[in-house]
Amino acid sequence: MSQASRALTCAIPVAAAVLFSGPAIALAETMQFKLLPRYSRATFKSDAPLETFVGNTADTGITASLTVDPAKPQDAKGTVKVDMTQIRTGIEKRDADMRSKQYLDTDVEANKWVTFQVTKVEIAGPLVPGKEMPARVHGVLTVKQKPVERVADAKVTYLKLTPEQVEAQKRFGFASDNIKVKARFGTTFTDHGMQVPQLLFLKVNNEVELETDLVFAKE
C-alpha cells in the first residue's frame, strides 16, 4: 500500500468520528421550558390529631419556568409559583381560614403566591431520554414573604419526541423536548412567621409537606 493510500485509510475513520460526533455536541444546548398547567399540580399536607388534611391546586393555580441544558442539568434554573387562593382542602371553611389575615393573609398580593426559586441541582449526570433520574434540588422557598432555604428530593424524566410524535401531541402542548419533575420537601409554619393553625380546639402539626408534579415543554 502506498503512503498516500495509508494516509487516506487513516483519515477515513477520523473524518467519520468527527462527522458523527458533531450532531451529538450540537444537541447540548440550554433550553427554555414552559409549564403545561393541565398536567401539573402542587399539594401540601399537614397532620392534625384527628385527621390529615391535604390541599391541592392545579391548572391556573400554578405557574413555572425552567432553563436547563439536558447535558448539564446541574446548572438548571427555575421558578415555581403556587396561587394559595386556589388551594382546596375539601372544606370551604378551612380554606377560608387558611387564607385569612391570621395565617396566609392572601388579601395582600405579595402573600398570594408561594414560590420556590431553584439555585442548584444535584444529579448524577446528563439527562437521558426516557430515563427517570433521582436528584436533589436546592432552592429558596418563600411563603408569606418569608424566604427559607430548602432541599427537595426529586425525580426527573426527560422525554424527546420524534417530529411525527410532536405533530400528534402538539395540540396538548408537548414539544420535541419535555421534562417531568416530581419533587417533595418539607417546611414549617413557624419558619415562615405564621402561628400553627388550630382546627376546632386542636392544633395541627407545625410541619408541612409539599409535593409538586410538574410537566414542562420546550418553548
Instruction: Report which of residues 150 and 204 the model is more confident about.
Output: 150
Q: Total domain count for the chain?
A: 1
**Any domain includes 92:** yes
Instruction: Determine contact, residues 211/183, Cβ cutoff 8 Å.
Output: yes
* Helices of type H across 106-189: 109-112, 163-169
**Confidence band of 172 (pLDDT split at 50, 70, 90):** very high
CATH number at residue 110: 2.40.128.110
Residue 114 amino acid letter: V
* Residues 99-145 pLDDT 10s: 998 889 999 999 999 999 999 999 999 999 999 999 999 999 999 99
**Any domain includes 149:** yes
Residue 113 amino acid letter: W
Bridging pattern class, strands 62-69 and 31-35: antiparallel
**Any domain includes 9:** no
**Any domain includes 81:** yes
**Any domain includes 11:** no
Range of the domain at 188: 30-218
CA 151 to CA 12: how far, in whole Å? 50
Average pLDDT over residues 59-66: 93
Picking from 115, 32, 219, 194, the residue whose alpha carbon sits closest to that of residue 207 is 194
**Any domain includes 122:** yes
- What is the CB-side half-sphere exposure of residue 116 using CA atoms within 13 A? 24
